Amino acid sequence: MRTKVVIIGGGPSGLLLSRFLSLDGIDNIVLEKQSKSHVIGRIRAGVLESGTTKMLQKAGVSGRLNKEGFVHDGIQLSFKNHGFRIDLKKLTNKHVTVYGQTEVTKDLYEKIEKENNNIINNVDDVLPQDLDQKNPFVTFKKDGVENKIKCDFVAGCDGYHGISRQVIPQNLTKIYEKVYPFGWLGILSETPPVSDELIYANHGNGFALASMRNSNLSRYYIQTPITDKIENWTDKKFWEELKKRLPTHAADTLITGKSIEKSIAPLRSFVCEPMSWQKLFLVGDAAHIVPPTGAKGLNLAVSDVYYLYNGLKKHYLLNIDNDLKLYSQIALSRVWKAIRFSWWMTTTFHKFPEQTDFDQCIQDSELAYLENSIASQTVLAENYVGLPF
């Protein structure tokens, strides 16, 4: 087999890159280790920056998003059970759209299967080789049979646990990592969301977030110690703790119900530099991880795709390689700004193990200043709706 670009990983990064390359007639094959049902079954956040929505529209996969996505012109913040609103639309003339990532992945899969059908699921032992030679290739197993695809480039869209980042010589990479000393206990409940906008709450007991998937599917999180276990949390205990942490107006109107999904996720910040080596380009979670506090994970993957797609397009259609050469530098510039914002949201809203009363007062005063400063609110709003790309 031969193709121009082998894409390792069929998550949001890989699928969106494949879609854009195919739209320009640039042959590509997506190698995904899981089944399609496994990939689209992942329950993940879905706060789409305005730039992400535009990219999905350009990719021709925004039909359902336009109908079912919830446009949010603002978000709510709270401290000491006191809530206030950040008017994203007024401050930036942009909004965010709440639309589950599962849905984004389903829409991409549907379009690609219908128009290109170049996704190979359930592959094993994917290994990009000769990336520093003239003719790189990727080997993989399908139903136990060894396969080889010759190609020009490899896009590593295989997430944090993927193979792509591992094949870069370790002495050529620098890894930056910060593991946060807590996790998020999240539940999904078939109840009306407590608010029509997201609520990020700082409380002496710890962080809480009220979000949603649709008008009768709510998503809530509370910060827990990373050593905590699901078994320690009955629904009743969760709802009681959530009410303590949310702003009063939300706690008083919260409609509780049976959880249909409950899980604890760790929080980390992670960056691999550079994001490319020879004919390999890392995209999305393969190169960087952000804590979910800033809702940046999916959106950063999309801006990586934008940069890499444009570099590959100029290579094939205009025989210009400068953008490909600058991919890592350009992508990392935006990645680090999102890493910073996600770190700031995490450190401002969470209770750290050794936190003192002084530290809590600093967090409260940071949020009190935010409530009364348009300048400070604009900084948050610009980052939340997404910096330009």
Q: Write out the residues near ligand PHB by the rule CB under 6 A.
A: 45, 47, 198, 211, 219, 292-293, 295
141: Cβ–Cβ under 8 A, 6 or more apart, which residues? 123, 124, 125, 147
| Residue with Cβ nearer ligand PHB (30 or 39) | 39
Edge to edge, the sheet with strand 96-98 lists: 47-48, 96-98, 70-72
- Closer to ligand PHB by CB, 43 or 326: give it: 43
Q: Determine which one of 292, 315, 327, 350 is catalytic.
A: 292
- Which residue from 28, 21, 3, 34 is spatially nearest to 137, judged by alpha carbons? 3
What would you report as the CA-atom Rg of the chain, rounded to the nearest whole angstrom? 21
The nearer residue to ligand APR, 83 or 162, going by C-beta atoms, is: 162
Which of 76, 98, 374 is CA-nearest to residue 202?
76
244 classed as catalytic: no
Residue 287 interaction partner, one of ligand PHB, ligand APR, none, beta carbon < 5-8 Å per kind: none
Contact partner, 298, from ligand APR, ligand PHB, none, Cβ < 5-8 Å per class: ligand APR
> CB-wise, 76 or 92, nearer to ligand PHB?
76
Sequence-ordered strand ranges (E) for the chain: 5-8, 28-31, 47-48, 70-72, 74-79, 82-87, 96-98, 119-120, 123-129, 137-142, 145-150, 153-156, 174-189, 199-202, 208-214, 217-224, 259-273, 276-277, 280-282, 288-289
* 316 has catalytic annotation: no
Out of 99, 109, 180, 200, the active site residue is 200
Asked if 199 contacts 83 with a C-beta cutoff of 8 angstroms, the reply is yes
Which is closer to ligand PHB, CB of 207 or CB of 239?
207
Single-letter code of the amino acid located at 15: L
- Positions touching ligand APR (CB under 6 A) are 8-14, 31-34, 39, 44, 101, 123, 126, 157-159, 161-163, 284-285, 297-298, 301
Residue 162 beta carbon to ligand APR: minimum distance, rounded to whole angstroms:
4
Residue 228, token pair as written in the block? 């905590």
CB of 288 to ligand PHB, least distance (A): 16
CA distance 176 to 178: 7
CA angle 65, 26, 109 (to 5 degrees): 30
**From the list ligand APR, ligand PHB, none, which binds 198 (C-beta under 5 to 8 Å, kind-based)?**
ligand PHB
Q: Does residue 72 have an active-site annotation?
A: yes
Choose the contact partner of 295 out of ligand PHB, ligand APR, none; CB within 5 to 8 A by kind: ligand PHB
Q: Are 183 and 168 within 8 A, CB to CB?
A: no
CB 62, min distance to ligand APR, A: 17
CB of 364 to ligand APR, least distance (A): 30
Catalytic machinery residues? 72, 200, 292, 296, 384
